Structure 1
Amino acid sequence: MNQLRHMSVFAHIVEKGSITAAAAHLDVSKSVVSQYLSRLEKALGVSLLKRTTRQQVLTPAGQAFYESCHAINQQAEQAWQHARQTLEEPQGRVRITAPDALMSTLVAPAISPVIQQYASLSIELISSDKRLAINADDIDLAIRVGESLASNVKQRRIGEFRDVLCRSASTASQKINDQTVYIANTWQGSTIQHRLYDPSRRKRLNYVPDTLCRVDSYHTSMALIQSGAGIGLIPDFLVKASAGMICEAFPGYQLPANTVYALHPYRQHMPLGVSVCLDAIKNKLDESI
């Protein structure tokens, strides 16, 4: 016997005033509700209701039992309403990770209005060039460059950007040669080769710099480039936001596009809070291109 189901039906019989009214409320037949009551009384070994053709009265045992059944129904209703509320208004914790360059220039600006709009959302942003594990590190949303090989997570392409070889606008007239300092990011590896293409002139250019200077963030690279220390790789949306302080080192030439993906652990029903954050990040990325 499903005890909780029988207790719930009993509470409805009491509250609706009759088996007939309870059956109509539960959208089942009168005989089904009557059977629930009979089985319940048999299992408990006590009479819960005294019934006549016109009324029903709780026995002392039935009164005490009803109070517990009513409390169970109330808790179930509250749980149901809470679950429904999460579908209507974003709430709860959302843990988001992204590389340093994308976090400060894309993710954080996109999430800022979300934080202001939804007071019940608790946002945790983790800026790291290290790829955190979605499940082991309890990540709700990971924004990454390039497709992931992980099979235990869902991933969605949300846009793209291009890296740009840049230098300070104040050095734009200077010729790039072997003495030009290349400011490399630590994630680029020991040997760096850039293959650029000019679509308007259909020309290709290979640039293989010496890596004498390394930094661990795009912001440090940007600061060095703006000061005229050398040339380096900067995302195109950061170039646009630089107010003309930096410019292309090889005007007209492009590097291949970088595809941005959103990874998450939700197979079917993504929480509304996560969905709202993902949409905000995608929209911000679309604006930046």
Structure 2
Amino acid sequence: MVNSKLIALLPDLASFILIVDEGSFTAAAKKLNVTPSALSKLVTRLEQALSVKLFERTTRTLIITPTGQQIYDQAIVMVNAAQQAWELSTTDHTKPTGALTIAAPEAFLNSVLQPFVIPFLQQYPSIQLKLRVADGEIDLLKDGIDVAFKLTDKPDENLVLKEIGKTNLVLCASPEYIEAKGIPVHPTELVNHDCLYLAETATDNIWDFFRDDEFHSVAVSGPYAVNHSQMRLNGVKQALGIGIFHDFVITQAIESREVVPILPDWTIKSNYHGVVAMQYSQTKYMPARLRVFIDYITKALNEKLNPVIPKTTM
């Protein structure tokens, strides 16, 4: 049963969110067409109702408190849900129109999705597409995401899952590096080579290799670590060391012989290994803009995501 006191707080919570997003009473007041003093009184009323302090205020700054941040995080879920409810009641679901927010890992967004964005918008000019780089965990409702692409072997069980391909990891180096340093013939030999890794977590330099019943976990090191696939690939091309990349990132460089696959008979696993999962919230009333995006991207990526990696050798 809905708490009647909570219902009375909902408008104030929505205004509180806008104040946080805008960073000041003045900016939020302009959006709401009220005075800054009215918003200041609103926040005081909300603080009294919740028995917490939401902001640290000075004459020049407005800083949200830790408790205020927690309340904001919960309230934004409420507002996003209300936004979806409003769209359901106002949008003609037979016409693809409105905004879509899409989240995807940087490498996938840059190498795979990017070529299809402009053609999609040209075909559906009434849709506004917002793209976000998201390499970590995503809360679709809280973050206002319509569709999330994930490279994983553990998709979110609470979301609709559409597998649109698989992704494998490929170890490679430039011909110049191999000529200078040699080519490893076994994973354990990588400890004697310069290796380029992500540097996102403390264990990103631990590379796991599988072949039949054999397994090796190798701690690598090198002169360059960066969690941006294209920058890391540029380092490999310029003979800084050996790197690991998704097949969709590295195929073209292999075909042009800028880089050479290493240890192609071994399977490499990481947090970003497995299926390419397109996930979205379960809904009985799917907006037309979401439906056409899912159909368009599924068809467009049908062949894109399963490249055959040539086993080029020196």
Normalised-by-shorter TM-score class: 0.5 to 0.7
Q: Structure 1 residues 83 and 94, CA, compared in 2 at 3 Å: closer, same or farther?
A: closer
Report 1:25-104 matches (<5 A).
83-84=91-92, 86-87=93-94, 89-104=95-110
Gaps of 5+ in 2: 1-89, 307-314
> 2:238 matched to which residue of 1?
227
Rounded to whole Å, the distance in 1 between the matches of 2:226 and 2:117 is 27
User: Which amino acid in 2 is paired with 1:148?
Assistant: P
Alpha-carbon distance in 1 for matches of 2:297, 2:200: 24
Aligned partner of 1:184 in structure 2 is 197
- Asked if residue 111 in structure 1 is aligned to residue 125 in structure 2, the reply is no
In the superposition, the TM-score normalised over structure 2's length comes to 0.58
Query: Aligned residue pairs: how many?
Result: 203
Judge which range, 245-254 or 123-132, deviates more.
245-254
| Structure ID, larger Rg | 1
AA aligned to 1:138 is G
Shift, 1:123, TM fit:
0.4
Identity of aligned residues (%): 20
Distance (Å, rounded) in 1 between the aligned partners of 2:303 and 2:151: 17
1:277 to partner: Cα distance:
2.1
Q: Is the 8 A contact 2:237 2:258 kept in 1?
A: yes
Structure 1: unaligned runs, 5 residues or longer: 1-81
CA distance in 1, matches of 2:300, 2:214: 31
The residue type paired with residue 299 of structure 2 is N
Distance in 2, matches of 1:165 and 1:188, equals 19
Conservation of the 8 A alpha-carbon contact between 1:167 and 1:231? yes
What pairs with 1:246-285 in structure 2 (closer than 5 Å)?
246-255=259-268, 258-285=274-301
What residue identity is the alignment partner of 2:115? P
> Is residue 148 from structure 1 mapped to residue 164 from structure 2 by the alignment?
no
Tell me the equivalent position of 1:15. Answer: none
Matched to 2:234, the amino acid is: A
Partner of 2:226: 215
Tell me the secondary structure at the aligned position of residue 241 of structure 1. Answer: helix
RMSD after superposition: 2.7
- Contact preservation (8 Å) 2:100, 2:127: yes
* 1:37-83, Cα deviation, whole Å (9 max, x unpaired): xxxxxxxxxxxxxxxxxxxxxxxxxxxxxxxxxxxxxxxxxxxxx85
Does residue 130 of structure 2 align to residue 124 of structure 1? yes
Distance in 2, Cα, partners of 1:105 & 1:133: 24
Structure 2 counterpart of 1:158: 164
